[in-house]
């Protein structure tokens, strides 16, 4: 299969979808993003990289970071994590509060904000136990190593902008603290959470960083074991069922691959055993997932016949 041609064709076919959807503006610093941008990159388990469009332009990964923090937390506490959060789709928006009250402060899954805040709490506690009490620094270093790029960084302006306006996340964290589901003070946990969301990297880096998930938990290019094989399987399963919030069913229906989105417009997708695909386009649909990115992934799955459920129908 000529992946270079597939990506070039997608960049061409996606043009009418650019600039039509609105970028996230509830975090003021994200409102400056340009909804005409579009990038796509693929990294295969044998180390080939293909890219097209704005694949080298850095963007704010936002909730895509939840994938890397989940990986770190599973390394730290293993299955003990599941005592504090579930792995069931929420069917609610990513920042919803209502379900959390009914379910006694136990978030449905690690990819909604409440769940990711619990995961950040695990990482804050682990940093305290270690000699390196810098949880956000630990997350950044982990992502830099996975991406094999020291230029991956935390954008302090975006982290501050979110901290200044993150009233809902403050509410979620305080609520969970009141239920006894946070070990640390909400302020410390949120500082880590806002910084992880403000990690900035490009599509090429992102597809490289997630490659262990396409290779049973081991980075195929360095040989490093990142997580146990069965943990990688579970992470992929949660991406499939929860990675797009209340549009996860729709994403499985249209793309059929484990994916994780962020309100910066990035999406990472895993084709198990084969490759990872990162897309970025900042215009969002109403569930807060990249509009053009989702359509590009539909095209990709159709052209490469890579949906896990069989062939898909979008014209190609
Ligand atoms: N930092 C964002 C928030 O907490 C992440 C949300 C997202 O990307 N879906 O609201």
Could you write out the DSSP letters of every residue in 198-214?
TEEE-HHHHHHHTGGGG
Q: Any residues with CB less than 8 A from the CB of 86 and at least 6 apart, and which?
A: 106, 107, 108, 109, 115
Q: Whose CA is nearest to atom 2 of ligand 1?
A: 62
Domain range for 250 is 3-62+201-304
CB of 189 closer than 6 angstroms to any ligand 1 atom: no
pLDDT per position in the chain (316 positions), as tens?
899 999 999 999 999 999 999 999 999 999 999 999 999 999 999 999 999 999 999 999 999 999 999 999 999 999 999 999 999 999 999 999 999 999 999 999 999 999 999 999 999 999 999 988 999 999 999 999 999 999 999 999 999 999 999 999 999 999 999 999 999 999 999 999 999 999 999 999 999 999 999 999 999 999 999 999 999 999 999 999 999 999 999 999 999 999 999 999 999 999 999 999 999 999 999 999 999 999 999 999 999 999 999 988 765 4
Examine residue 99 and state whether it is found in any structural domain, yes or no.
yes
> Could you tell me if 81 and 164 lie in one domain?
yes
Q: 29 and 161 in contact (C-beta within 8 Å)? A: yes
Residues 129 and 68 in one domain: yes
What are the backbone angles phi and psi of residue 94, rounded to the nearest 5°?
-65, -25
Would residue 179 count as lying in a domain? yes
Closest CA to 270 of 281, 280, 260: 260
Question: In testing the pocket of ligand 1, which one of 23, 27, 30, 173 has its CB within 8 Å of the most ligand atoms?
Answer: 27
Same domain, 264 and 241: yes
Q: Which of 199, 214, 231 is the last residue of a domain?
A: 199
Instruction: Tell me, yes or no, whether 69 and 194 share the same domain.
Output: yes
**Pocket flag, ligand 1, residue 94 (CB < 6 Å):** yes
22 lies in some domain: yes
Pair (70, 106) in one structural domain: yes
Which of residues 141, 170, 199 is at a domain's end? 199
Q: Is residue 116 part of a domain?
A: yes
Question: For ligand 1, is residue 63 a contact (CB within 6 Å)?
Answer: yes
Q: The dihedral of CA 103, 106, 111, 112: what is its sign?
A: positive
For residues 288 and 163, membership in a common domain is answered with: no
93 and 195 assigned to the same domain: yes
Position 310 in a domain: no
Q: Among 164, 199, 234, where does a domain finish?
A: 199
Q: Judge if the beta carbon of residue 24 lies within 6 A of ligand 1.
A: no
- Domain count along the chain: 2
- Domain for residue 78, yes or no? yes
> Is residue 158 domain-resident?
yes
Angle between helices 291-304 and 3-13 (to 10 degrees): 140
Residue 314 forms part of a structural domain: no
CATH number of residue 280's parent domain? 3.40.710.10
């Amino acid at each position: 299969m000529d992946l270079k041609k597939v990506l070039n064709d997608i960049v061409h076919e996606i043009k009418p979808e650019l600039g039509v959807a609105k970028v996230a503006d509830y975090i003021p610093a994200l409102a400056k993003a340009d909804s005409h941008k579009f990038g796509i990159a693929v990294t295969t388990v044998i180390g080939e990289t293909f890219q097209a469009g704005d694949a080298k332009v850095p963007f704010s990964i936002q909730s895509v970071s939840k994938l890397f923090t989940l990986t770190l937390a599973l390394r730290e506490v293993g299955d003990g994590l599941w005592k504090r959060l579930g792995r069931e789709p929420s069917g609610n928006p990513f920042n919803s509060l209502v379900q959390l009250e009914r379910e006694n402060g136990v978030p449905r899954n690690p990819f909604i904000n409440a769940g990711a805040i619990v995961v950040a709490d695990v990482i804050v506690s682990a940093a305290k136990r270690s000699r390196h009490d810098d949880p956000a620094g630990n997350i950044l270093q982990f992502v830099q190593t996975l991406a094999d790029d020291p230029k991956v960084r935390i954008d302090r302006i975006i982290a501050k902008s979110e901290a200044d306006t993150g009233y809902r996340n403050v509410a979620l964290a305080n609520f969970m603290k009141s239920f006894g589901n946070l070990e640390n003070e909400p302020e410390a946990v949120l500082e880590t959470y806002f910084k992880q969301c403000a990690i900035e990297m490009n599509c090429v880096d992102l597809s490289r960083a997630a490659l262990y998930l396409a290779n049973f938990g081991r980075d195929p290019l360095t040989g490093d074991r990142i997580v146990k094989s069965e943990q990688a399987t579970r992470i992929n399963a949660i991406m499939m069922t929860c990675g797009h919030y209340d549009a996860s069913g729709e994403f499985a229906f249209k793309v059929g691959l484990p994916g994780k989105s962020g309100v910066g417009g990035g999406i990472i997708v895993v084709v198990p055993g084969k490759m990872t695909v990162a897309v970025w386009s900042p215009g969002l649909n109403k569930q807060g997932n990249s509009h053009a990115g989702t359509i590009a992934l539909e095209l990709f799955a159709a052209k490469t016949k890579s949906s896990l459920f069989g062939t898909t129908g979008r014209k190609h």
